[in-house]
A and B are shown apart, each in its own frame.
Chain A
Amino acid sequence: MRRTLVISCLLILTQFLAGFAFAQKGTLRGAIFEEATGEPLFGVSVLVKETSTGAVTDFDGKFEIQVDPGTYTLQISYISYSTVELTAVEVKAGEVNVINDILMAEEASDLETVTVSAAAIRTTESALMSVKRNAANLMDGISASTFRQIGDGDAASAVKRVTGVSIEGGKYIYVRGLGDRYTKTVLNGVDVPGLDPDRNTIQMDIFPTNVIDNIIVSKSFTADLPADFTGGVVDIETKDFPEEKVAKIGISGGINPSMHFNSNYVTYDGGKTDWLGYDDGTREIPTGGRTDIPQYADVVGNPNSPLGQEYQSILGSFNKTLGGYRTNSLMDFGLSFSLGNQLVRPRATWGYNVALTYKNETEFYQNAEFNLYAKPREATDTELEPLERQMGDYGVNNVLLGGLAGIALKTEASKFKLNFLHLQNGESKAGEFDFVNTNLGANFEAKQYNLEYSQRALTSVLLGGTHYLNGRSWEINWKVAPTKSTIEDPDVRFTRFRLPNNTVSTEVGLPTRIWRFLEEENVSGKLDLTREMFFFEREGKLKFGGNYVYKNRDFNIQSFQFATGNTDLTGDPNQILDDENLFAPDNRNGVRYNADFIPTNPNQYQSDLSNVAGYVSAELKPADKLKAIVGVRMEKYTQYYTGTNQGATIVLDNEKVLDDLDFFPTLNLIFNLKENQNLRLSASRTIARPSFKELSYAEILDPITGRTFIGGLFQETTNGGTEILWDGNLTSTRINNFDLRWEAFQDRGQMFSVSAFYKSFDKPIEMVQFLSDPGAFQPRNVGRGSVAGLELEFRKSLKFISPSLENFNWNTNVTLTESQIKMSESEFRSRKLTAREGETVKDTRDMAGQAPFIINTGLGYQNYNTGWEAGLYYNVQGSTLNYVGFGNRTDTYTVPFHSLNLNINKTFGADERIQTSLGVQNILNDKKELVFSSYGAEDQYFTRLAPGTKLSFSFGYSF
């Protein structure tokens, strides 16, 4: 249905386009900004010197002039500003030349004219840079032009180029080493629902770069931003009003010699629409999700009863495939299409934008390792002992289908925007592993088969408007955005045969099948009003507004276990469910299902929240060189939960679990030290709130990992209940943030900045293991935490070495952090109890996920004359605490992954109509590794994957 919607929108827009004939003249479009503030300038006169035709900029600082083909000089003038002369402006018949980022400075003394050549102004990072330089808060970002240069295919890989940003697990964004709980992702400035039941943030890999205009990361808080972030708020802006006609088709591909065209690839047969990123129903639950189905114990004594027959009918209708097979793997490929234009009409300008993207990627990991190690019993022994070792091969096929369609309308004083976005992603996984268990109480070797499918979808509609009253003295912005996201894991299958006799038992784990479903709906509304006014006799702004967010999440897991009774098994997973093995009147001890969710399903909850916010913020200049943004935001946040504990002895029925009213003050100071040099200072308070399932009495067993999630409202006591380890009173975390940054900007996008930051966390929430059960985890407030850090960023042209290196840029950003958290009582105790001889145990440690350093550095080359563009980029993140160890389990750390990527682009033909690129990813052929680390012991692998080196290419044609 949703796909149909996108396609029909596309059709309508194409028809719209067809009715429009292009003039034979050429078009010049541009945008003019005030250099000091980055604000668009309204009413600027733009004159084509040679023809004496001209235009005046609108409220966006934009202008458009129709002229005959030729080369011109533009004279741009505005009262009390230095006139700008733009030379060598080329105009071609029927084409649009866009000159963005024309900056005008207030004139110093005499009437002076600044002359710039048009070639010097390009849509590059400098557009974003001017936003960044003038922004009230600390921000960094990456724009579409950089995605192209680096060759990143999705938002997750692109955003990690931004200072202080890292990506965990290929999906989750960390800003300044603060993940999940402390980093917020918004789409076009409004809240979007998450796609992971266990996290607050959205999975970034679902956004193809094709639909993104830019990604802005705000690291300091201003009152108009949501208050629930600490590391940063990441705003993904989808494509907007195109400046010129864009029509482009592209194909891309990738070959990884270790993964593709490999005859050993593991896969399984899914549905007919897997290639489109969704399941066609093949993996549907055979019971239709019913919770009144008969159980084995209901029918074992009476298999011929109606109930018994129903049981056998359900049992027989489970898909019989439990294992994959080996076949040849295909290479990666992708298709993209984008179309956009603006149509100037007498009273209004229309813009439209359509982008479609399709990617089909295959990964194959051989000899992948997933292990569990623990400390030995005796404190005198240090070397870690294996508990579980799993090694094998698995194949992943990932399909991403994305569509964006937008219409924008600009009138004299208003702008409207309507955007539809749908993203569809399906990931099919099949694996075969050798499993060795040497854990206490269970010693065995086994062969393990995994089949998984995960499908994610996100549909978002955005309607927004901007209105100007009294020229630009009032600006009104509003947005309404309903969004729906779903993540479904239909029919996750897990089978293990114990060797050598190929038996199935509770000790090795029974064959299990899981259907997991999460749906989140979200409505956001936002209104911002900005009034230009004078404070201290200098220009300033007063901004105020409100924001409303409503979210509703449904979560449900239905899992089945298949006991095999006295069935003789061969070790072929696909024979387990053979008809002759199934429970029947003459085979009562045969293979049967047990539905774990009857009568109570503790793996099910429904939760909603609403957040009503209001704010006032003033931007003022108390002194000539000082800009201050002061503000306060109020958020009233309420969260409701419906769900039960395992025995259904505690039932919450739409119970209010969180009701916070907070005020968040913020102060940002910007000292303009000298031209293009700022010193920024900011202080603010923000919040991190517990998630839906954390504030609950949930007891959710993950059938795959065997770990149990325990809601934060339960207590933990020890010593016969006399000592309280956790009081069950989970609250939000309040954070104080301080930032200091010095920054200098130079021409052609060169810049240099140094930042220092400090954050203190009051009652941070961490996942804490139970002292009495290392397999159970609970969110708890732990002692105070803090993070201090330094960031360095520069973008420098190598012209300073030699003029011949003018086209080379060296970009680097480095983040260093030091974090500390006071352990929970139970963690500290457990660490003392299991300390090795000679080990000293402190009651503080690093915050989980906090990288000690992140380095991004790269060399870029750009030559507009020849159409060559290239980038060689290196990224590394210091060894980071990943899972916090407990009891005899130790901490796991990431091993630095040295990522070195090369990307080369070349455009050909008239007007650069053909764009090609070639890339090499992971040139160093590094491995992705996580290790168990313990005092005096050799590190042991927790996870070890070899992603190999990938060659990728793309070809695009514009028309």
Chain B
Amino acid sequence: MKKFNFLLTLFAAVTLVFTSCDDDDPTPNNGVTITGIPATATVEVGGTVEATGSVSAPDGLAQLVIAKDGTTLTTVPLSGTTASAPFSYTATADDAGKNVVFTFTVTDVDGDEAVATHVLTVGAEATTIRLESNITSDYTMESGKVYILGGRITVTSGNNLTIEPGVVVKGEVGTGANASALIIARGATIMAEGEATSPIIFTTVADEIMPGEIISPNLDPDISGLWGGLLVLGNAKGSFAGDITETQIEGIPPSDTNGLYGGSAEGESSGTLKYISIRHGGANIGEGNEINGLTLGGVGSATVIEYVEVIGNQDDGIEWFGGEVNVTNAIVWNAGDDALDTDQAWSGTLDNFIVISGGETDHALEIDGPEGSFNAGHTLKNGSVKGNDVTELGDFRDGARGTFSNIYFFGFANPADTEGRGDLSLSGDATVANFAGGALTFSSLEITLAEGVALSDVFKGGTAAHATAVAAGANTVGADKAAFAGWSWADAAGELADF
């Protein structure tokens, strides 16, 4: 099984240094020397050993032969009297637990020879693999292993990242520009298909969770901002300020063109996300420049996203920036800003979702309108939203449009006591006009009201006409929580009991 993608790499280059020879009559038949090759070294699988050999032969160099365990790897022709040979070798899974012997044989023009030997001790195959640079060819993260994102790691266009069930991906420590994140660039795909019994977990290196676990052994679910998040970017259409066709995602400077999203592709696929749980992310870059738990920028409709959990993210749980992708079975718990945030005329559907607001959650639903002249709306249906004293049900603003139906709200504060917390409001003339004109519609909203609160105190701007007050647990609409059973931390922590 050679799934392992760290292939043998060998790099040997020779720099020739010609030395002028003032001596008219060189003494014939001098020896050959090779120095600079260490006798031993130890690496793990995937680790790299580097050395630079210096060779010299007063009579004139002929060649350098490098062999691994007796098999010639490369032969480098040489000339001149001195040269240096940089050597680099990355240990493969096949080398695990072995001593690999390298021999460096240098010969001169009259057949003299010098040999240096290097013994490389390769440790057992690592179960924790660290990624330090972008993924620029197809790559697989294997079941049972932990992968560490050493920084902002991008799967670049044309390449696919496969993540097998049960993999734990941990983001390295870092905030601001150093926030670690996994980015699926436009034209790249991710196949992260976890299983109901074996979800894929994205978390921080601070989290001691290991493959097979669902609950973090050492971090509470409200700890946030320890790493960035997962960003999936595509070529689908969005409505951008200034009517440009593509734009840069929050959190990544525009000099990194892997951060661009948007375009005119229809029916594109960025791959599949299934049974994934994203935790403790949302490292802050700057004001208005944050990383969400799951960022979906211009993602195409053929992409499959279902069974997604976002927990303890410092910014939004899931944020859509334009695009057409549909998402089903999503749960957001303890979002630091908004649980679900939509912008730039996302035109897909979110079906069956649960929001569990935390102590810092601002809006359960933050629904923004298009930013350019292109208009499109999205659909949110079959959701259950649990509030908090500081949280609003929803803010529909800047010309928000779309269809919002079969959503049940409970556990919110009285808006009259909290200066408007706990309400659902329409902000701005454009939003009000869309609501009046039918571009923004609500139907079958249900709520369990706090004591002494009227329906119209909560549902503002005429939306109360589409809402009904129900007793706790007597809702007839809402999420099907069975979809979250077994694989989500929220379920394992008993947080779904109220739903």
Contacts and interface: CB of A to CB of B under 8 A. Distances in A.
B204 A443 contact: no
Contact of A300 (B134, B219, B245, B368): B219
Interface stretch (A338-346, A357-365, A769-777, A788-796): A769-777
Nearest to A650: B255
Nearest to B430: A377
Interface stretch (A30-38, A63-71, A196-204, A587-595): A587-595
A21 interface: no
Interface stretch (A84-92, A234-242, A327-335, A716-724): A716-724
Interface string A574-611: 00000000000000110000111111101000000000
Given A566-B360, A701-B285, A706-B286, A830 B244 contact: yes
Interface centre among A301, A378, A501, A649 (most CB of B within 10 A): A301
A703 B285 CA distance: 9
Contact of B222 (A441, A589, A699, A706): A589
A833 B242 contact: yes
Contact of A561 (B176, B248, B370, B373): B176
A599 B178 CA distance: 7
A295 B180 CA distance: 14
Interface string A431-442: 000000001111
Q: Is the interface of A mostly helix, strand, loop or mixed?
A: loop
Given A378-B373, A503-B360, A596-B176, A509 B286 contact: yes
A396 interface: no
A311 B64 CA distance: 52
A834 B243 contact: yes
B284 interface: yes
Nearest to B187: A720
B419 to A, nearest CB: 4
Nearest to A728: B255
Interface string B170-205: 000111111000000010000000000000000011
Nearest to A444: B362
A645 B133 contact: no
A710 B398 CA distance: 30
B282 interface: yes
A716 B254 contact: yes
Given A594-B284, A776-B248, A699 B220 contact: no
A701 B285 CA distance: 9
Interface string A274-317: 00000000000000000000011110111000000000000000
A300 B286 contact: no
A364 B106 CA distance: 78
A833 B244 contact: yes
A507 B176 contact: no
A715 B260 CA distance: 13
A834 B242 contact: yes
A440 B178 contact: no
B177 A719 contact: no
A756 to B, nearest CB: 40
Contact of B226 (A300, A506, A600): A300
A899 interface: no
Interface string A343-381: 000000000000000000000000000000010011100
A221 interface: no
Nearest to B358: A566
A771 B288 contact: no
Interface in B348-371: 359-360, 362, 366, 368, 370-371
A600 B132 CA distance: 13
A714 interface: yes
A298 B178 contact: no
Interface string B417-460: 01101000001000000000000000000000000000000000
B253 A646 contact: yes
Interface string B385-413: 00000100001011100000000000000
Nearest to A831: B242
B125 interface: no
Interface in B199-222: 204-208, 218-220, 222
B66 interface: no
Contacts of A506: 225, 282, 284, 287, 290, 314-315, 336-337
Contacts of A378: 373
A598 B255 contact: no
Contacts of B315: 506-507
A97 interface: no
A867 B353 CA distance: 86
Nearest to A566: B359
B359 A772 contact: no
Interface string A643-660: 001111100000000000
Contact of A440 (B204, B248, B368): B368
Q: Is the interface of B mostly helix, strand, loop or mixed?
A: loop
A830 B421 CA distance: 39
Contacts of A715: 257
B266 to A, nearest CB: 15
Q: How large is the interface on A (under 10, 10 to 19, 20 to 34, 35 or more residues)?
A: 35 or more
A589 B223 contact: yes
B152 interface: yes
A440 B431 CA distance: 13
Interface string B224-251: 1111000000010000011111111000
Nearest to B177: A646
A649 B133 contact: yes
B306 interface: no
A504 to B, nearest CB: 9
A711 B256 CA distance: 12
B372 interface: yes
Interface centre among A377, A442, A699 (most CB of B within 10 A): A377
A565 B280 CA distance: 12
A503 B390 contact: yes
Contacts of B46: none
B177 A699 contact: yes
A178 B482 CA distance: 68
Contacts of A379: 373
A506 B283 CA distance: 9
Contact of B421 (A501, A559, A775): A501
Interface in B40-65: none
A442 B245 contact: no
Contacts of A296: 173, 225-226
B1 to A, nearest CB: 32
A563 interface: yes
Contact of A297 (B205, B256, B290): B205
B362 A773 contact: no
Contact of B208 (A301, A442, A597, A649): A301
A235 B288 CA distance: 44
A440 B371 contact: yes
A923 interface: no
B164 interface: no
Interface centre among A295, A302, A378 (most CB of B within 10 A): A295
A677 to B, nearest CB: 56
A719 B246 contact: yes
A708 B284 contact: no
Contacts of B395: 443
27 contacts: A296-B226, A301-B207, A374-B241, A439-B288, A440-B241, A440-B371, A501-B390, A505-B336, A505-B362, A506-B282, A506-B287, A563-B224, A594-B225, A599-B178, A600-B151, A602-B177, A645-B256, A646-B152, A699-B255, A701-B253, A701-B286, A717-B257, A720-B246, A830-B242, A830-B244, A833-B243, A834-B243
Leading 9 A-B pairs by shortest Cβ distance:
A596-B176, A509-B287, A594-B175, A887-B242, A773-B248, A714-B255, A773-B254, A301-B218, A297-B226
Given A770-B254, A772-B246, A887-B244, 9 more contacts: A301-B218, A374-B241, A506-B336, A559-B176, A565-B222, A600-B151, A708-B254, A773-B253, A773-B254
Interface of A: 295-298, 300-302, 374, 377-379, 439-443, 500-501, 503, 505-510, 559, 561, 563, 565-566, 588-589, 594-600, 602, 645-649, 697, 699, 701, 703, 706, 708, 710-711, 714-721, 770-776, 778, 830, 833-834, 886-888
